[in-house]
Structure 1
Amino acid sequence: MAKKFRVAICGGGISGLTLAVALSKYPDIQVDVYEATGQFKEIGAGVMIYARTWEILSLLGMAQDFSRIAHAPPDGSLGIGFDYRRSDKPEVGSRFYLFQMPYGCIRFHRAHFLDALVAHLPAGIAHFGKRLTSYTYIPVAQRREPQIFLQFADGSAATCDLLVGCDGIKSVIRKQLLEDHVYKQGGDPRLLEHIEPIWSGMVAYRGLIPVERLKEADGTEHRTIRSPMMYCGKSKHIVSYSISAGSIVNVVAMETNLQLYGAPWKGPWVTECSPSEIQECFKGWEPEVQEMLGCLDRATKWAIHELKPLPFYTKDRVVLVGDAAHGMTPHQGAGAGQAIEDAYILAEVLGHPNTTLASLPKALVTYERVRLPMANHVLQGSKQSGDMYEFNGPLEDNLVPLGLQIGHQWDWLWTSTPQTERNRAFELLTQQKASL
């Protein structure tokens, strides 16, 4: 089948691979995935999604494969999102809010999640060792049809009709997109403030614990084996939940200094650290926290960054997806889900019969109109949620109203569905065609 246009996806993480899989059902779209490293890989340990993201995996025909690698096969029944508990005192803590929803919090080992996507990737479209250094948009005035010229660090080059930036929070494509708009097209210089990620003032300690280590001799299980936990305290909190078919517990322990928000972070974002550093950080917290942290053998320390909300995701025939568009803090476990929604909506827009080579820029604006408001809302809400978990929000540690407010932070999960968002995009595409 003749190809109506060529799509280059730069970045082989969750957003890039989901987009490639979603586009693979359209034989008239040529797709190439350019990955900077020598193989597809993910750093980190856990990834979580919710019912609306599970719906997308189902629509893409991948639910069965992902069901096998989840903490438990999702069945749609009511489950725990998070069990919120005040834990920053030596005595036994107490629950102050229980967030429940259909499917609960669906959890995976991040590497297994990526492997499941790779298994659905069509053969021959992945290109490794291709780190994009720059791109050049060649407008229609210089040739019969506009196209984009890609330059890679290894000296190789390629061309495409549409460039998709799935290259993460440190996105090279976002940087050039914004700089070109400011320096070549006379855009607002304040856009340059959106290029570099901002340090949140938070560090996160991450580690994995085999479930067997969290069981007592009499068979009693640690609370977090069965329930995703949110242990809360002043300027600190711990997230823990089981992954890998329930065989491992993922632990993320966070500490925030609000005065350091936006300060420069010197050195690598991820380093090795000793479990004793984490244990010292949470010294004096309740017994079950001490028990859990005492089971850590290895840990890493992460500097948590985020992006300032972008005012647009696309210019000409270049578009941003996932963390390149809205890199966010992890406080609602929404980064992967939002990236998957980006990929799904963009693929549906590109595959629509009304989308042609000539109408690509307008189609990309349709994607932006649907996804940007939601993703920016979740980005900002994630930061607000982190403040609440650490009693740094307006309610501080007034736990009863705080719990209710935390619950409302998740309202975005129900305001729409991926299918209603897709239908809205289709309506916009139809309106565009009618206006021609």
Structure 2
Amino acid sequence: MLNDECVHPAAKTSTTPHPKFRVAICGGGIGGITLAVCLSKHPDIQVDIYEAAQSFKEVGAGVMIWGRTWQVLTLLGMDKTLRDVAGVALDGPLVDPPFGFDFRRSDMGHDHRIYLLSMPYASNQYHRAHFLDTLLARIPETVPHLGKRLISYSHGDPTGSIKLKFADGTSATCDILIGCDGIKSTVRRIMFQDLADKGQPEMIKFIEPVWTGEVVYRALIPMEHVPLRAGQKHRVLTRSTTYCQHLTAYPIAQGKWVNFGGFVTKPEACGTPWDKPWAAECDAHELIEHFSGWEPEVAEILELVQKPLRWAIFQIRPLPLFAHGTVVLLGDAAHAMTPHQGSGVGQAIEDAYVLARILGHPSTTRKNLCEALKAYEHVRLPFTNDVARQSAEAGAVSELRGSTGDDYARFAHSLRGLWTWVGGEDPEAQVQRAIKRTRHQEKVAAKALL
């Protein structure tokens, strides 16, 4: 809750005068808003979102939602609304035709399909802004507080509360601080700096993001601008296509736009400094120069890109922990990854669901918050770190480097393996494992007191 010495008091989202505990969500992106939606199912938990910007906005264009994440959204009662946003019939399949990726060797000047990866898992694509707006409609207006850029947090209150300080001079208190503040997370910086200052200097390396050596040129192309090919719709209007090595394009927003990304990679530059803006508009000729001589389909798409954005791709090193005391990380703050499997948003949503289910469980109280947050870490940290690893490998495979090179049989085998996680252990199973672990830790602690 915000202190009222400088601003109005934050309205409580709890319907009880004494909430079970107070949750502060730092960051109002998709992960943070999803967490607030999930926690709204538990009226005895007070929730406040502190967002640095003056309005809610998402960086990027496309959002890919896999079937495992769709289960979460269905449990939240959002499936019908999101089907409407995607233009999918309520009684129909999530995707029609069945979803897959068309992988093509495109840098040799002629058409050459390498592999058609048919996915047994449903998926749908959204414009990020539309997706975020759908989530925002699910939370009370009193929950978000805009213009609240976190500059520090501290413990020390005898009650165990955490004090938050913001750049505008205001402050707030909470029982749990959840860092949903992205790849440049302030919460992560303070957490790992504190660990380093208290005898673990190796923790410093987990604070700053690392450049992957990759740059992606991004653009949204209006559907009506994409030309026909032999009287048929262009491939990118009907199927997600990866032109190796490598360019991606797929339809979003009910097919009104094509989300385009052209990747240029220098593997040897991974981990080296990037001294330019992370994202900047550039001349279309810069993009065309990188992909000149590619197959005609690619040339047709490149001609449609007027003002591409050049993005440097960063990630964070695999973290050794997500939770420290009653402070915990979620989404990109915990596991910012490359975009090669469209998995970042989905993993943030799954983080939010698992964490909210743990916090909302009747066995979770103020007394065992640390154990509950460690249980979340126990199930989510290894899973998300592995997803991040496979995303990076998928990018390497799409550029015909890494373990497969241009051996197309190995290429296909590797891709199938890299996508199996999408159909793996679902978030609800992770919830049950985490709750079981929390109970076990409570029993261990109780025995230690005997």
Match of 1:161 in 2: 175
Say which of 20, 23, 35 aligns to 1:7: 23
Deviation at 1:215?
A: 3.2
Partner Cα separation in structure 2 for residue 240 and residue 76 of structure 1: 20
Shift of 1:33: 0.2
Match of 1:186 among 162, 182, 199: 199
- 1:306–1:131 distance in 2 versus 1, CA, 3 Å: same
For 1:40-60, what per-residue CA distance to the aligned partner results, in whole angstroms no more than 9, with x for missing partners? 101211110100000100011
- Aligned mate of 1:65, from 68, 77, 81: 81
State percent identity of aligned pairs. Answer: 46
Paired amino acid for 1:120: R
Q: For the Cα contact (< 8 Å) 1:47–1:110, is it kept in 2?
A: yes
- CA RMSD, aligned part only? 1.5
Of 231, 238, 246, 2:243 maps to 231
Counterpart contact for 1:83–1:98, Cα < 8 Å = yes
Contact 1:164 1:318 in 2 (8 A): yes
For normalisation by structure 1, the TM-score amounts to 0.95
Cα distance, 1:274 vs. partner? 2.0
Could you say if the C-alpha distance between residues 217 and 93 of structure 1 is closer, same or farther in structure 2, counting changes exceeding 3 Å? closer
Q: Number of residues paired by the alignment?
A: 426
Structure 2: how far apart are the matches of 1:401 and 1:426? 40
1:172 aligns with 2:186: yes
Unpaired stretches in structure 2, ≥5 consecutive residues: 1-15
Q: How does 1:318-337 map to 2 (within 5 A)?
A: 318-337=327-346
Decide whether the 8 Å contact of 1:76 with 1:102 is kept in 2.
Answer: no
Partner residue in 2 for 1:54: 70
| Preserved CA contact (<8 Å) 1:71 1:243 | no
Partner of 1:123: 141
Shift of 1:65: 1.3
Partner of 2:6: none
Aligned twin of 2:323: 314
The answer (yes or no) to whether the contact 2:394–2:415 under 8 Å persists in 1 is yes
Which letter maps to 2:132?
Answer: L
Q: What does residue 28 of structure 1 align with?
A: 44
Displacement of 1:64 in angstroms is 1.2
Aligned to 1:388: 397
Residue type at the aligned position of 1:250: N
CA contact under 8 A between 1:175 and 1:195: conserved in structure 2?
Answer: yes
What's 2:10 paired with? none
State the SS of the aligned residue for 2:367.
coil
Q: CA deviation at 1:430?
A: 2.8
AA matched with 2:222: P
TM-score scaled by length of structure 2: 0.92
> How far 1:219 sits from its partner (Å)?
4.7
**CA distance in 2: counterparts of 1:81 and 1:137, whole angstroms:** 49
- 1:349-368 paired onto structure 2 within 5 Å: 349-368=358-377
Q: 1:72 to 1:213 in 2, by over 3 A?
A: farther
Tell me how far apart the structure 2 counterparts of residues 21 and 273 of structure 1 sit (CA, whole Å). Answer: 37
Q: Does 1:243 align with 2:259?
A: no
Give, as a single letter, the amino acid of the residue that structure 1 aligns with 2:254: A
Q: Which stretch shifts more, 105-114 or 92-101?
A: 92-101
- The 2-side partners of 1:286 and 1:267 are apart by 31
Corresponding residue for residue 82 of structure 1:
101
Shift of 1:352: 0.5
User: Secondary structure of 1:252's match?
Assistant: strand
* Alpha-carbon contact 2:114-2:408 (below 8 Å) kept: no
- Give the partner amino acid of 2:322: Y
Given the superposition, is the C-alpha separation of residues 262 and 217 from structure 1 closer, same or farther in structure 2, using an over 3 Å criterion?
closer
For structure 1, the residue ranges without an aligned partner over 5 or more in a row are: none
What are the superposed Cα offsets for residues 326-384 of structure 1, whole Å, 9 maximum, x if unpaired?
Answer: 00000111000110010000000000011101111110001000100100001111111
Give, in whole Å, the separation in 2 of the partners of 1:314 and 1:289: 45
